[in-house]
Amino acid sequence: GEDVEQSLFLSVREGDSSVINCTYTDSSSTYLYWYKQEPGAGLQLLTYIFSNMDMKQDQRLTVLLNKKDKHLSLRIADTQTGDSAIYFCAESILTGGGNKLTFGTGTQLKVEL
């Protein structure tokens, strides 16, 4: 089965780098995603990585994928107060019924001045 785990909280100082970690269990994942949720809002796709890639960089965001350990991380460089939000990782698995997405519990990132 599939199970996606994240730590619940992370606190960093403004200007530092943030690293949010995620582990998943299903090795047949095709895509892995990072979503951001601000208070009272829906989820916004931040970035994603195909399962045959090791790394993807997009401006301040770096995604690292270790398929052997089933570990995904999101690094945010130069973290700003506007980055304070809940971050969800998710995996996509192709099943007989289609494309099934499973989300982690979310990591609350707090950026302090």
Partner 1 sequence: NAGVTQTPKFQVLKTGQSMTLQCAQDMNHNSMYWYRQDPGMGLRLIYYSASEGTTDKGEVPNGYNVSRLNKREFSLRLESAAPSQTSVYFCASIPRDRLSTDTQYFGPGTRLTVL
Residues of the shown chain interacting with partner 1 in the complex, contacts defined by CB under 8 A: 4, 6, 8, 30-31, 33, 35, 41-48, 58, 88, 92, 94-95, 97-106
Between 44 and 81, name the residue whose CB sits nearer to partner 1. Answer: 44
Q: Are 22 and 5 in contact (CB under 8 A)?
A: yes
CB of 13 to partner 1, least distance (A): 25
Smallest distance from partner 1 to CB 81, Å: 21
Q: How far is the CB of 6 from partner 1 (least distance, A)?
A: 8
Give the Cα separation of 25 and 80 in Å (integer): 31
Write out the H or E segment, with its range, that includes residue 50.
strand 43-50
| Nearer to partner 1 (CB atom), residue 14 or residue 73 | 73
Q: How many CB atoms lie under 10 A from the CB of residue 113?
A: 6
The smaller minimum CB distance to partner 1, of residues 21 and 102, is found at 102
Instruction: For residues 43 and 34, give the distance between their C-alpha atoms in angstroms, rounded to a whole number.
Output: 10
